[in-house]
Amino acid sequence: GSVRGSVRGAMPSSVRGAVRTLCLAALLGALGTGGTELTLELPDSAQRCFHQELESGIKFTLDYQVISGGHYDVDCYVEDPNGKTIYQETKKQYDSFSHHTELKGVYTFCFSNEFSTFSHKIVYFDFQVGDEPPILPDMNNRVTALTQMESACVTIHEMLNAVIDSQTHYRLREAQDRSRAEELSGRVSYWSVGETLILFVVSIGQVMLLKSFFTEKRPSSGGAGT
């Protein structure tokens, strides 16, 4: 505690401003590294696959969630370069999978909607490769404790990552809820139109039925005259 206090007190204002700038640049740079996000349409009875070449000893994470369509479920599997299945789930609404690669080569992950014969799906996935780089230079090789300002930068960075994850989660939930609301609104509209047509047909039928009750039947003229 005394070391951090003395270092911070002896730091000139210009140096503190440079550190603030460095921290801000590192935070903003680290927010957009090491990942791919994509939202795709998965037709009925279809499968979509993606391929990524990775080195050995690399960690990757796959997060996915079905936004709309059917029962909001999808099949997913991941294969290593030898074609061995290292992850497989069926009819999942959402899931997360992490793995450390043991082989160098092309890894394949696929989303399948082959079990559905008429429901289109919208699937979101986030594919992250590698560990997040340190936000400060030589942070992993330091032998001294972080200063109070550097510790604050790390804390802010972690909080920003938590905010980004929360925003992504809420955006997906909002898209899913909006899809359900639009589907429900469509069903209500169709049902209203159907009820209107049924009432119209029933009304015409009742009018015609009542009219037939009050219609006089004229006797037919005929017979020989006297």
Average pLDDT, consecutive stretches of 10 residues, N- to C-terminus, the chain (226 residues): 33 40 39 67 91 91 88 92 94 91 93 89 89 65 68 81 80 79 87 92 88 70 51
Q: Domain count for the chain, please give it.
A: 2
Q: 3-class SS at 60?
A: strand
**Which pLDDT value is given to residue 104?**
93
Token representation of residue 191: 């049902």
**Which pLDDT value is given to residue 54?**
92
Task: Report if residue 7 sits inside a domain.
Answer: no
Q: Are residues 128 and 188 in the same domain?
A: no
Q: Any idea what the CATH number is for the domain that residue 56 is in?
A: 2.60.120.680
**Which pLDDT value is given to residue 13?**
44
**Which pLDDT value is given to residue 10?**
38
Q: Are residues 105 and 49 in the same domain?
A: yes
Q: Are residues 42 and 120 in the same domain?
A: yes
Range of the domain at 194: 162-213
**Which pLDDT value is given to residue 64?**
92
**Which pLDDT value is given to residue 192?**
92
Q: Are residues 124 and 193 in the same domain?
A: no
Query: Does the model's pTM come out above 0.75?
Result: no
CA-based nearest residue to 126, from 160, 177, 161, 81: 161
Q: Are residues 105 and 47 in the same domain?
A: yes
Q: Are residues 49 and 127 in the same domain?
A: yes
Task: Report the b/e string of 146-163 with b at 16+ CB within 10 A.
Answer: ebeebeebbeebeeeeee
**Which pLDDT value is given to residue 19?**
38
Task: Report if residue 123 sits inside a domain.
Answer: yes
